Amino acid sequence: MLPYGRQVIEEDDIAAVVEQLRSDWLTQGPAVAKFEEALCGLTGARYAVAVSSGTAALHLAALAAGVRSGDTGVTSDVTFVASANCIRYAGGSPRLVDVDPRTGHISLEALRAEVARLKSKGTPPKVIVPVDFSGSVADLEGVRAIADSVGAIVIEDAAHSLGATYTARDGATRNAASCAHTQMAILSFHPVKHITTGEGGAITTNDEGAYRTLLELRTHGITKDPAKLKQVDGPWYYEQQSLGYHYRITDLQCALGLSQAKKLGRFVARRRELAARYDKAFAAGAFPTVVRPLGQPPATVSSYHLYVINLVARAGETLAQVSQRRRALYDGLREKGIGPQVHYIPVHRQPDFVAAGLANGDFPGADTYYAGCLSLPMFPGMVDGDVERVVDAVGSVLLQNAS
Ligand SMILES: Cc1ncc(COP(=O)(O)O)c(C=O)c1O
């Protein structure tokens, strides 16, 4: 089965982990700091705090942003549930905002309206969590302007976009998770992501205060900083000064992450080549009448965590009918040994969000996007022939059925 995504582990990655196993450090040690330094190099952010998962990174970022019980926060309706759950973990209520169905990115118009609505109710959001959907960077400056109008902190969910860039309004090229226009960003190193540590994640920031808070939250809220201690009993002394977590990543994982970090450029270049091959194939012949590759926002160069296509709706077709045809395509590809995936079921459809009263709003963009979306195989270990095989399989299901 050709999956939609998978890790690329090479001999030197294996050697790096084996070498780490022979060292003194298995849990948090010097490799964590080295990996964090590498992440600063890859993103351009001043600080990075590596943690046990992207979800843990989101949770700590929400806490560091000051989200507490009774607060509101805002994120996109088309994302992995963790982008919204982090607000809940911190005691707040997430508000879901509709997306542009062509790009899957948060709609700035809907965001502006939701933030104004929350402000008028006296509950302006504490955080806004834009998602770099599929690997292209959200309009962070647009989001930041809206956030600044109510004093909200912006946490860029860059789980999909390590290695992506965007052109800022001043013409400068910025990296995803550089925090040039946000207070914090989060990354994930799950095996389908650009580089992997098995499980793992990180928060990046340029704010020293947030950095210090994140370091403490990662380890139970404990500090050994002499400048912060209320008293000193001896060299063993530490204090828990806030409620933190055990979200540490290990040296074993960071040894793999460091080895993988050196390959990010090569991995992203390959993802872009594969995307260009798909784009070219889906622009040819009758394909444009049946499928449309996900639109890319204008000012960003994607690092293609995902390659998403959307079915083109036929005249008069309902979303349920589009969704039925997407199901047929999904099944047809699986029969041919190809494992597509759907990213994502809109968060407002999740029963737990409905039960918690967190699914209110209008989401025509998300529903339209969801009905016809399908993620095709995209990972740097694919050969060119894999793309051709997938394109042929899509054609044989959709174009035969269309005729
Ligand atoms: C957009 C987004 N945010 C956050 C996460 C959470 O990352 P992790 O799986 O490392 O906890 C994911 C994971 O797939 C994701 O896709």
Q: What pLDDT, in 10s, does the model give residues 103-143?
A: 999 999 999 999 999 999 999 999 999 999 999 999 999 99
User: Are 113 and 196 contained in the same domain?
Assistant: yes
- Residues 293-318 have a mean pLDDT of 97
> Ligand 1 centroid vs 191 CA: distance in angstroms?
11
210 Cβ contact partners less than 8 Å away, ≥ 6 residues apart: 47, 64, 65, 183, 184
Asked if the model's pLDDT at residue 210 lies above 70, the reply is yes
Confidence label for 151 from pLDDT (cuts 50, 70 and 90): very high
Q: Which atom of ligand 1 is nearest to the CA of 55?
A: 11
- pTM (2 decimals)? 0.98
3-state secondary structure 146-206: HHHCCCCEEEEECCCCCCCEEECCCCCEEECCCCCCCCEEEEECCCCCCCCCCCCEEEEEC
User: Are 223 and 254 contained in the same domain?
Assistant: yes
Asked if the model's pLDDT at residue 385 lies above 50, the reply is yes
User: Are 57 and 43 contained in the same domain?
Assistant: yes
User: Are 180 and 279 contained in the same domain?
Assistant: no
- Quote the domain boundaries for residue 387: 264-402
User: Are 247 and 365 contained in the same domain?
Assistant: no
The answer to whether 16 touches 257, Cβ cutoff 8 Å, is: no
User: Are 290 and 216 contained in the same domain?
Assistant: no
Residue 401 pLDDT = 55
Nearest Cα residue to atom 7 of ligand 1: 54
Q: Is any atom of ligand 1 closer than 6 Å to the C-beta of 131?
A: yes
Give per-residue pLDDT as tens, 279-296: 999 999 999 999 999 999
Question: Residue 344's domain is classified under what CATH number?
Answer: 3.90.1150.10
The answer to whether 166 touches 301, Cβ cutoff 8 Å, is: yes
The answer to whether 91 touches 68, Cβ cutoff 8 Å, is: yes
* Number of domains observed in the structure of the chain: 2
d(CA 49, CA 35): 9
- Residues 58-79 have a mean pLDDT of 98
User: Are 314 and 388 contained in the same domain?
Assistant: yes
Among 242, 261, 280, which residue terminates a domain? 261
Residue 403 pLDDT = 47
User: Are 329 and 272 contained in the same domain?
Assistant: yes
Mutation probe of ligand 1 site: the residue of 80, 133, 342, 375 with most atoms within 8 A of C-beta = 80
Residue 101 pLDDT = 98
Q: Is any atom of ligand 1 closer than 6 Å to the C-beta of 160?
A: yes
> Ligand 1 centroid vs 285 CA: distance in angstroms?
36
Residue 8 pLDDT = 98
User: Are 256 and 350 contained in the same domain?
Assistant: no
Q: Which atom of ligand 1 is nearest to the CA of 82?
A: 4
Asked if the model's pLDDT at residue 356 lies above 90, the reply is yes
The answer to whether 329 touches 398, Cβ cutoff 8 Å, is: yes
Phi/psi zone of residue 154: left (φ > 0), alpha (ψ -120 to 50 degrees), beta? beta
Among 240, 261, 282, which residue terminates a domain? 261
User: Are 207 and 196 contained in the same domain?
Assistant: yes
d(CA 214, CA 47): 10
d(CA 143, CA 243): 30
How does strand 307-311 pair with strand 173-175?
Answer: unpaired
User: Are 294 and 242 contained in the same domain?
Assistant: no
The answer to whether 319 touches 367, Cβ cutoff 8 Å, is: yes
Q: Is any atom of ligand 1 closer than 6 Å to the C-beta of 54?
A: yes
Nearest Cα residue to atom 5 of ligand 1: 54
